[in-house]
C-alpha cells in the first residue's frame, strides 16, 4: 500500500469549540498531507452508550463512527485529562466502537495516543487509561515514547498548536504509526 493513500481518523476527546486537543490534531493533519489524509471525526452527536440501542438500528452517529474507523487505516486519539483520566466523551465513543466484542472495527487497528493538559504532567494518567481501554478492544497501540503535552494552554496561538519541538516529537511518533499500519497491511 502506498503511504499517500493512507486514511487516518483523528478523534479529539474534547467537545469544546476551541479545544486544545482538536487544535493539536488539526496542526498534525496539516503537517502530514504528503503522507496520509487525516480527517477529524467529531464526537458531538454520539449518545451515551446503551446496549439497548444496539438491538435495533444503531444511532446514525454511532454507525458513522464505526464505519469511519472500519475504513481508516489507523487512528490518532488526542485526549485531555479530566480527574486523572481520559474524557468521558472519548471513553464513551470507544465503548460504542468496541462492539461487538472481539470483532469490532477497533480490532487490530493501529492507534496513536496523545494527551494534553494545562498542568505539568500533560495527561499522563489519561494516557495510561486509554492504553488499558484500547488493550481491551484488541487495538494495536503504537509502541513509542508517550506523547504527553504539558502546559498546553501556552502552546496554542490563534487556534493552532505552535510548539515546534513537540510537533517534531509527534511527527516521529506518527512515523511509528505509519510503520505499524504497514505491518498490519502486510499481515492481511
Beta bridge partners of 11: 77
* CB-neighbour burial class of residue 11 (10 A; exposed 0-12, middle 13-18, buried 19+): buried
pLDDT in tens, 32-87: 999 999 999 999 999 999 999 988 889 999 999 999 999 999 999 999 999 999 99
User: Is the per-residue pLDDT at 154 higher than 60?
Assistant: yes
Q: What is the mean pLDDT of residues 107-131?
A: 96
d(CA 18, CA 159): 7
pLDDT, position 57: 87
Q: What is the mean pLDDT of residues 104-118?
A: 97
Q: What is the mean pLDDT of residues 111-135?
A: 96
Topology at the third CATH level for domain 6-187: Rossmann fold (3.40.50)
Q: What is the mean pLDDT of residues 127-143?
A: 96
- CA angle (181 as vertex; 41, 164 as ends), nearest 5: 65
Q: What is the mean pLDDT of the chain?
A: 95
Query: Given pLDDT bands bounded at 50, 70 and 90, which one contains residue 3?
Result: very low
Cell of 117: 493538559
User: Is the per-residue pLDDT at 1 higher than 50?
Assistant: no
pLDDT, position 188: 76
Amino acid at each position: 500500500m502506498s503511504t499517500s493513500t493512507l486514511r487516518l481518523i483523528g478523534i479529539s476527546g474534547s467537545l469544546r469549540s476551541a479545544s486544545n486537543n482538536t487544535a493539536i490534531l488539526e496542526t498534525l493533519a496539516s503537517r502530514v498531507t504528503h503522507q496520509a489524509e487525516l480527517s477529524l471525526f467529531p464526537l458531538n452527536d454520539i449518545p451515551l452508550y446503551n446496549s439497548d440501542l444496539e438491538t435495533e438500528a444503531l444511532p446514525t452517529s454511532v454507525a458513522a463512527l464505526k464505519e469511519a474507523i472500519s475504513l481508516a487505516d489507523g487512528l490518532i486519539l488526542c485526549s485531555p485529562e479530566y480527574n486523572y483520566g481520559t474524557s468521558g466523551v472519548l471513553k464513551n465513543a470507544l465503548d460504542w466502537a468496541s462492539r461487538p466484542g472481539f470483532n469490532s472495527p477497533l480490532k487490530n487497528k493501529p492507534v496513536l495516543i496523545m494527551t494534553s493538559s494545562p498542568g505539568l504532567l500533560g495527561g499522563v494518567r489519561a494516557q495510561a487509561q486509554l492504553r488499558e481501554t484500547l488493550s481491551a478492544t484488541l487495538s494495536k497501540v503504537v509502541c513509542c515514547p508517550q506523547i504527553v503535552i504539558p502546559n498546553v494552554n501556552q502552546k496554542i496561538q490563534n487556534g493552532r498548536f505552535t510548539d515546534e519541538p513537540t510537533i517534531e516529537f509527534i511527527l516521529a511518533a506518527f512515523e511509528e504509526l505509519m510503520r505499524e499500519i504497514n505491518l498490519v497491511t502486510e499481515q492481511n
